[in-house]
Amino acid sequence: MKSEKQKMLSGELYLATDNELLSERERASQLVFEIHSLPPGNPQKQLLFKKLLGTTGNSFVIEKGFHCDYGYNIHLGENFYANVNCTILDCAEVRIGNNVLFAPNVGIYTAGHPLDTTLRVAGQEFAYPVTIGDNVWLGANVLVLPNVTIGANTVIGAGSVVTKNIPANVVAVGNPCRVVKELTTS
C-alpha cells in the first residue's frame, strides 16, 4: 500500500493532512523561518537554502518573502534569481533551468484540488510537476499552474497565468497565457 507521500509524488490523489507530510512541511517552514530571520547578506542563508532545496547550482539568489511546501522537490540550475515574495508550492517536482529570473511575486503551484466536490471536501489533493527551461524570465505576478513546461529562452509577461505548456523562444502573456511573439536566438 502506497503512503500518502508516495501518492503525492506519483501524481495520484493524496491527503495532505497525513502526519508524514505535515511533519515535512513543518521542517520546511522552520528552515524558511530561520532563513528569513537572518540579516541580508548573511552567508548562512545560502547554506540553509541548500539544506531546504532538493538541488541548487553554485550561484543563486532568493530574496525575502520566499515560501514553499517541502523544499526538497525544488531543483535550481545555475544563476537562478528570485525577487521578493516568491512562492513555490512543491508537492511535485519543480525543475528550474540555468539563468532563470523571477520578478517579484512569482508563484509556482504544483498542487491542486479535484473538481469533484466529494473528493475535495474529503481533503484529497493532486500534484503535477512544473519544468522551466534555461534562460527563462518570468515577469512580476506570474502564476504557473500544475503540469506546465516553459521552454528555454522564453519570456512570460507580467501578470500572466500559465495554464498550459509554453514553447521555447517566445514571449507569452495573458490569462490564460498565450504566445504573442517568437524570439530569434542569437
Determine the Cα–Cα distance for residues 172 and 155; give it in Å rounded to an integer.
6
Residue with cell 548562512: 44
In three state form, how does the secondary structure of 12-73 look?
CCEECCCHHHHHHHHHHHHHHHHHHHCCCCCCHHHHHHHHHCCECCCCEEECCCCEECCCCC
Residue type, 158: A
The single residue of 36, 67, 75, 113 carrying the catalytic annotation is 113
Known catalytic residue at 113: yes
Determine the Cα–Cα distance for residues 1 and 57; give it in Å rounded to an integer.
36
Cα of 73 vs its chain's centroid, Å: 9
Determine the Cα–Cα distance for residues 148 and 165; give it in Å rounded to an integer.
5
Catalytic residues: 113
